[in-house]
């Protein structure tokens, strides 16, 4: 690392993805704003990941890496990295994602001009195979109070892409450690939104590959060591976890007294359920509709619905 502390540390958790890891690292080291550090945490990989990390660390003094002796799980690895942050800002980057070359420069310029912002992120582009890229502009939470930002996020936003924005470290400190539960990324972004405003700039992009660990709730549960019940009813689980985090868990809400924390926790859970009623419904009936014994009847009905409602 450089002798003088850089204003931004990019935190890159990785596990058994040596090939894609190079693209992620290169996108960091070729940023138009180069006063940054890169810290990689190898979550006890069994492929060539250590060799990749060692090569980059030897070639560029801004890169350091640590090999975990045992696999901490995805959230454990995130928490380890966040606990190492000493710079004013941090940026989380998944090992299968990559940044536009001007991502750091544009997001940092906005964050440094406005101390009320806890997250500044670029627009998110999703890629899957040869399909056209999917551009999503998210997430803007500019309300005056933390409670309003929290409820707005939970009711209207499905994306957790702000998790990978430029984060103000002082806000991160209050929102960590991230609990290892279903919807952990939602809980983290919600706590950061309570701490400060959130802004997306459409001038630069975070590029994400679909189909990783977060491809579906079953995979999330399996990789994170969560119960199958949480995977069967994920939105109810997320609503409960959000209530518990606001009412009893996260330090981000310590400025509220106990009655106000309970009230905001209930409102947060209600916002999730009110904002995603079809998802809650589908969690309950989807396994029945798609059961092999029922698909002969429900399949044609599903296809007819999709034809009439293409969006």
pLDDT of residue 1: 45
Q: Which of 62, 97, 132 is the last residue of a domain?
A: 97
Per-residue confidence (pLDDT) for residue 242, from 0 to 100: 96
Is the pTM above the cut of 0.75? yes
* Model confidence band, residue 159 (pLDDT cutoffs 50, 70, 90): confident
Looking at residue 255, the DSSP 8-state letter turns out to be T
Under 8 Å between Cβ of 91 and 8: yes
Q: Is residue 144 part of a domain?
A: no
Does residue 143 lie in a domain region?
A: no
* Six-digit token string for 89: 């800002």
Domain boundary among 97, 127, 154: 97
Outline where 138-293 has alpha helix (H).
Answer: 146-156, 169-175, 184-195, 217-224, 228-232, 234-244, 258-275, 277-289
Higher-confidence position of 195 and 223: 195
**For residue 309, what pLDDT is reported?**
46
Q: For 237-252, what is each residue's pLDDT tens digit?
A: 899 999 999 999 999 9
Q: What pLDDT score does 297 carry?
A: 65
* Domain range for 83: 1-97
Judged against a pLDDT cut of 70, whether residue 154 lies above it is answered with: yes
pLDDT in tens, 196-206: 999 999 999 99
Over pLDDT 90: what percentage of the chain?
68
Would you say residue 60 lies in a domain?
A: yes
CATH classification of the domain holding 5:
3.90.550.10
Q: What percent of the chain has pLDDT over 70?
A: 84
Q: Is residue 58 part of a domain?
A: yes
The number of domains in the chain is 2
Assigned domain for 90 exists: yes
Q: What is the DSSP string of 107-129?
A: HHHHHHH-TTEEEEEEEEEEE-T
Q: Considering the domain boundaries, does residue 88 fall inside one?
A: yes
pLDDT tier at 2 (50, 70, 90 boundaries)? very low
Find out whether 175 and 184 touch, Cβ atoms under 8 Å.
no
The verdict on residue 77 lying in a domain is yes
| Domain end marker among 97, 121, 148 | 97
47 pLDDT higher than 60: yes
Give pLDDT tens digits for 205-225.
999 887 655 556 677 767 767
Q: pLDDT of 56-104, one tens digit each?
A: 999 999 999 999 999 999 999 999 999 999 999 999 999 999 999 999 9
User: At a CB cut-off of 8 Å and minimum separation 6, what does 253 contact?
Assistant: 191, 194, 246, 261, 264
Kindly tell me if the per-residue pLDDT of 269 is higher than 80: yes
As to burial, measured by CB atoms within 10 angstroms (0-12 exposed, 13-18 middle, 19+ buried), residue 208 is: buried
Integer Cα distance of 147 and 195 in angstroms: 9
How does residue 281 score in pLDDT terms, banded at 50, 70 and 90? Answer: confident
pLDDT confidence bin for 311, thresholds 50/70/90: very low
Spatial neighbors of 192 by CB under 8 A, at least 6 apart, are 118, 119, 162, 167, 171, 172, 175, 198, 252
Is a pLDDT exceeding 80 seen at residue 302?
A: no
Mean pLDDT (the chain) is 88
Residue 106: inside a domain, yes or no?
A: no
CB 97 within 8 A of CB 21: no
3-state secondary structure of 12: strand
């Amino acid at each position: 690392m450089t002798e003088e502390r850089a204003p931004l540390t990019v935190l890159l958790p990785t596990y058994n993805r040596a090939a894609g890891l190079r693209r992620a690292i290169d996108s960091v080291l070729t940023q138009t704003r180069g006063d940054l550090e890169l810290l990689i945490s190898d979550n006890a990989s069994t492929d060539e990941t250590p060799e990749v990390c060692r090569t980059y660390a030897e070639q560029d003094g801004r890169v350091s890496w640590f090999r975990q002796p045992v696999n901490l799980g995805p959230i454990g690895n995130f928490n380890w990295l966040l606990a190492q942050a000493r710079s004013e800002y941090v940026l989380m980057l998944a090992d299968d994602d990559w940044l536009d070359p001007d991502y750091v420069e544009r997001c940092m310029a906005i964050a440094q001009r406005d101390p009320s912002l806890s997250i500044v992120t670029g627009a998110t582009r999703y890629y899957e195979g040869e399909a056209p890229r999917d551009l999503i502009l998210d997430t803007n939470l500019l309300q005056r109070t933390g409670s309003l930002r929290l409820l707005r996020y939970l009711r209207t936003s499905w994306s957790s892409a702000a998790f990978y924005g430029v984060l103000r470290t002082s806000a991160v400190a209050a929102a960590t450690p991230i609990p290892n539960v279903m919807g952990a990324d939602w809980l983290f972004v919600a706590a950061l939104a309570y701490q400060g405003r959130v802004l997306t700039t459409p001038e630069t992009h975070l590029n994400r590959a679909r189909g990783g660990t977060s491809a579906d709730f079953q995979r999330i549960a399996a990789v994170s060591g969560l119960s199958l019940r949480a995977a069967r009813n994920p939105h109810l689980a997320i609503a409960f976890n959000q209530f518990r985090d606001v009412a009893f868990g996260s330090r981000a809400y310590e400025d509220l007294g106990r009655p106000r924390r309970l009230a905001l926790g209930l409102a947060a859970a209600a916002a999730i359920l009110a904002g995603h009623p079809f998802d809650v419904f589908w969690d309950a009936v989807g396994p029945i509709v798609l059961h092999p014994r029922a698909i002969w009847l429900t399949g044609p009905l599903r296809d007819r619905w999709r034809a009439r409602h293409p969006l």
